[in-house]
Structure 1
């Protein structure tokens, strides 16, 4: 899949591309987007048919399954689900699809809305994602029958349904898990087609992720049985073995979010569990299974700023698939027999590219030809407590160590994430423009980051803020000690957890000349009572604020607001449920009250992430102007950087 930009409509668009015999082409174009491409099983009657998700029309925006048979120019809609289809798999026979879609809204709630307006009873009413099966031929028959009608009659039927004169009901699909209090997070279909493994919680409430259980659905009887898995915490990545006798899944070692993620195998014949832990596999990091092949399980894991692929046997033996130890592999896929595989990989001199059996199939990096771009170097330093910390230093091509450069720090989110030395790997902050303007940019992989083991990820337990600041400022001081950074010209920025750390740096310390806080937490109590993932605070701060207010106060930027003197730009979406916008208003009001220069920019209808290319441009432009003004001394009203207010 490729993400493309429609600047005129100010939207990102996703399209499925096919790469075949050296040629490539998109399945869809323009507003007709496509997602989640899946080839039919190779030994089925539809073996050369590609299925994907798309929206049928501008009027009907619910994602449905489409198929494109080999050689056909036209794709056919085959599903008519009442709500968006969020995930699907081919049945092993190729004769249909299993898919997940949300339950239709209950009639009493619809009636209540008509009488009283839109009301939400928090944690009382929800609509689970449930599992369905669609017979492919039935879907094709309905599509072909509809195609024989004149356009006005087809549209007339659609209008009747949309006006509410006809109940929205999927007459074609079989629903399996309705009324069983199961919200499906992930599923996999056994090769026999007779069983489906499910990962499910009682509701879609994100705070219930720790309650994920594993179930086996018998397709013929529709019975759902829970497996007895005595492993606590979040479980993910469910996969059937090729012979349908086992399932594998991942779990967190003790249930804590910063634990290593291990693979476990459940034998359905004898109910025995085998744990593929580091003492068995030799991998001391989070491991993700991608597909169970006849040769073993395709796994992905990260090591510092690179990642690896391998085939894992049940005895723990791992056979590496890719020899490159310096690049980062984003995602991978493999054939059932394990003979052919594909992956997307990027490096310091390359953008992310598609590879098939280690041969590059795309040329996204052509945009770098004859262009100067930031050179990314992995560096290491010691934090204030002696902890070894890595980061990425972004430098100009003509970097001169005898000069002194202004320095900006861009802190990644997460904290379970990683800054990587991949060319042009940034869509929120204008790293290339900063470097072109004369800045160096440091991307620290502070404590809590992925890729450095469980011990490192757990170091910020009950040490959020102060520990993060120690890792950031020690990196700044390390670069100053090398002689090529001007310690009087430093700034810090970040989004989400990176925004929080930037806010903490701005209020806790006087070291930075400017800061930018993107969707950041300003007060952990404010965050705890309003976020959609409040258990996050339990795992990192240790308790609720009512039981340990001191740890919340210690970690909150607002605690140090009277100490602040750093000019701070605050950017936030007003529809952010992850870090609600109240955090931005609280920081802004506090900075204003202590007479610190600040700007608050609220992006309407934006959630926690950047959802429009125009917003991405605005974020980058505002940050470039902000740091150029407060660190380089350029005037906000000056001709070279006018336009901070985008007018």
Structure 2
């Protein structure tokens, strides 16, 4: 029984709610590592901290208490060492480097200092080293910059990532030496022997020894672990990789370059470590034509080592097609697609002794299942209203750690059903909106689902002002778990007297491939019908006041909101966050050009009509709704000209509008101060234009 009246979260409390990611379970299932993100208001930053949890003793330990950017913790195969990535360097030049915490240590030791930082990594199966992805080191580019200044030959300059290896014992020994020997006394000449000391067994560079040679590394250069490339292919950008259990093969998923345009040419390659070691070449894996141009990656070896699983896009390979799984036998060359009844994107977690562990979305639920090679499904974590993700499993596949939320329960970290973090207790001390799934029919007959947020004392005989919060993506969804939204103050809107609808419009994930393709060549128009029909559904049900309706969204949700403000006069107020206003402007400026072609069917020079039909700016002359526009000036995904185009167009036709440009912000906000401002601005905007509150608080003075 709860004592006393409970209050809703304030905006500041919502912004400061912790988030979890990076869950990793040790091979024997006895230890969990995860990342917790908390707000540091004084420094206006989010702090990502790595924690560990002992399943037997239930002890929690923070590994990186003061880190600004720790991520991707991974236990070594024997569970005795913990690696993670951590941001180092000045505030203006942060780079992600690899750290390892060995037995008996209270904190990790930095073992890489590679220019540009690393992006991902995997332990070698025997635990003796770590393979990681990082940019190819290009001294010529550095020399050019020093000579001529900083510039770029677009789509030409090499930014490809390649695969490196570092030996852990040698790297830790060298790291310890940095605290024992002054820099001026270190021997910096023997670079070749130092590089060889980090190579895996069987390296081709000669007589690498682990005895006296390794002992001399304490006198070598202060380079931490000098990057040792596993192969030299300047024409490949490695996206993902896995190592066979015996350590003799590495399978790579790679594209010609890191440009999104080239991802359609991603292919699979094998690096044979049995005879050549570090100097091995890369061999193309021949795949049937059905996989050409559709490889997604997510490569995972089977326990036996000769076969691996990978993911690919079915059909024509467009971004909204299903992500499916196939198997490849390296000995026979046979490739076989997995046949399963699941009609959704499949994300592979691991190939364990018990089968493939996968995550997928089922409506407003997210599941973790085990699938055998015949496509049979064994549920692991599932349930009505359950959202489970970011899972990690033991070697046998019988134990799992994951993040889970459910109706009435916020996201927390779990291991085998046991909650090991305690955000739930924070929510238990606050009044929280009640959420339920609703369904309605759009104009073309499509069934649309959404999440309706109601006050806990909701009165069905009363009509409430209605707000719609439209998710981004479009291949994402809204869920019925308690909100942790950092852009839109849903709980504060509920407290002020609104009800809030979160529509899963056509194109949303979780409803099958056919539903995701419904907005192909129909963006904006079909989405608008789904949103507006949701409004009419709630009006006809007697829940919503037809004269007091607003809509807001970020990214793709911002685009749909922009469409609502120019295409319709149905709404009293609109907020456009990082939204597209003109598909032509977007197409020529974005960093993901294929996205537009996949959804609209072609480029604008070949089919300008579809670009015109689906662009909010086409309908600017009929706009009448007061519109708030929020955008980051460093946004490369939806560049800032989209915001200025909508802003100036609305001004020219006499619509009340305000553009807020967040200096230094990219496509999403990563500072608590920005999130606080975004939420306060949205709260003031809708309360003013729908409820008649003063707009004074909007200006945040």
TM-score bracket, shorter-length normalisation: over 0.9
Residue 179 of structure 2: aligned partner: 147
2:305 to 244, 248, 256: 244
Task: Give the structure 1 partner of residue 353 of structure 2.
Answer: 294
The residue aligned with 1:159 is none
Cross-structure match for 2:466: 407
Of 83-92 and 145-154, deviating more is 145-154
2:385 touches 2:480 (CA, 8 Å); kept in 1? no
1:213 paired with 2:261, answer no
1:222 maps to 280
Q: Is the 8 A contact 1:135 1:173 kept in 2?
A: no
SS at match of 1:539: helix
Among 433, 447, 457, which residue is 1:374 paired with? Answer: 433
* Structure 1 stretches lacking a partner, 5+ long: 155-166, 637-641
1:284-327 deviation per Cα after TM superposition (whole angstroms, max 9, x unaligned): 11111110101111111110000111211111111111252320
Residue from 132, 137, 140 that aligns with 1:104: 137
Q: 1:127 aligns with which of 159, 166, 191?
A: 159
Native 8 Å contact 2:175 2:224 kept in 1: no
1:569 CA drift (Å): 0.3
* Alpha-carbon distance between aligned partners in 2 of 1:283 and 1:269, rounded to the nearest angstrom: 29
Listed as ranges, the matches of 1:254-403 within 5 Å are 254=315, 255-277=317-339, 281-403=340-462
Q: Which residue of 1 aligns with 2:20?
A: none
- Which residue number corresponds to residue 677 of structure 2? 618
Higher RCO structure (Cα 8 Å, ≥6 apart): 2
Q: Against the structure 1 CA distance between its residues 267 and 234, is the aligned structure 2 distance closer, same or farther, given a 3 Å change threshold?
A: closer
Pick from 73, 80, 83: which aligns with 1:37?
73
SS at structure 2 position matched to 1:605: coil
Distance in 1, matches of 2:464 and 2:558, equals 24
Q: Structure 1 residue 104: deviation in Å?
A: 2.4
Residue deviations 1:452-488, cap 9 Å, x none? Answer: 0001000001111110000000000000001121000
What is the CA–CA distance in structure 1 between the aligned matches of 2:442 and 2:375, rounded to whole Å?
35
| Conserved? CA contact 1:38–1:52, under 8 Å | yes
3-state secondary structure, aligned to 1:38? strand
Of residues 576, 583, 607, the one that matches 1:548 is 607
For the pair 1:62 / 2:62, whether they are aligned, the reply is no
Which moves more between the two structures, 22-31 or 437-446? 22-31
Separation in 1 of the partners of 2:309 and 2:375? 13
1:115 positional shift: 3.8
Q: Does the 8 Å contact 1:444/1:475 carry over to 2? A: yes
Normalising by structure 2, we get a TM-score of: 0.86
Q: C-alpha distance in 1, partners of 2:66/2:610?
A: 50
- CA–CA distance in 1 between the matches of 2:181 and 2:90? 19
The yes-or-no answer on 1:199 pairing with 2:248 is no
Instruction: Call closer, same or farther: CA 1:233–1:81 in 2, change over 3 Å.
Output: same
Aligned residues: 623
RMSD, matched Cα? 1.9
SS at match of 1:540: helix
Whole-Å separation in 2 of the counterparts to 1:367 and 1:169 = 45
TM-score (norm 1): 0.93
Distance 2:479 2:185 in 1: 54
Distance 1:151 1:168, change over 3 A: closer
Where 1:458 maps in the other structure, the secondary structure is: helix
State the partner residue of 1:84: 117
Give how far 1:170 is off: 7.5
Q: Residue 105 of structure 2 aligns with which residue?
A: 72
Q: Does 1:19 align with 2:80?
A: no
SS at match of 1:251: strand
Q: Distance in 2 between matches of 1:150 and 1:32?
A: 28
Please state how far the C-alpha of 1:544 moved relative to its aligned partner: 1.0
TM superposition shift of 1:34: 2.2
1:10 to 2:72 alignment: no
Q: Matched residues in 2 for 1:503 and 1:38: separation?
A: 42
Q: Residue in 2 aligned with 1:164?
A: none
Counterpart-to-counterpart distance in 1, 2:525 and 2:380: 40
Please give the alpha-carbon distance, in whole angstroms, between the structure 2 residues aligned to 1:188 and 1:383: 44
CA distance in 2, matches of 1:235, 1:259: 12
Instruction: State whether residues 197 and 238 of structure 1, in contact with CA within 8 Å, keep that contact through their aligned partners in structure 2.
Output: yes
Distance in 2 between residues matched to 1:32 and 1:308, nearest whole Å: 31
Q: Structure 1 residues 370, 113: closer, same or farther in 2, change over 3 A?
A: closer
Change (3 A) 1:195 1:170: farther
Query: Where does residue 607 of structure 1 map in the other structure?
Result: 666
* Mapped contact 1:207–1:532 kept (Cα < 8 A): no
Tell me which residue corresponds to 1:531: 590
Match runs of 1:462-501 below 5 Å: 462-501=521-560
Note closer, same or farther for the CA distance 1:531–1:332 as it changes in structure 2 (3 Å cut).
same
Determine the C-alpha separation between the residues in 1 that align with 2:73 and 2:636: 29
1:428 correspondence with 2:487: yes
Map of 1:50 onto structure 2: 82
> What does residue 645 of structure 1 align with?
699
Q: Report the alpha carbon displacement of residue 234 of structure 1 after superposing the two structures with TM.
A: 4.3
Distance of aligned partners of 1:411 and 1:168 in 2 relative to their CA distance in 1, 3 Å threshold: farther
Aligned twin of 2:200: none
- Structure 1 distance, partners of 2:111, 2:100, is 7
* The one of 314, 325, 331 aligned to 1:253: 314
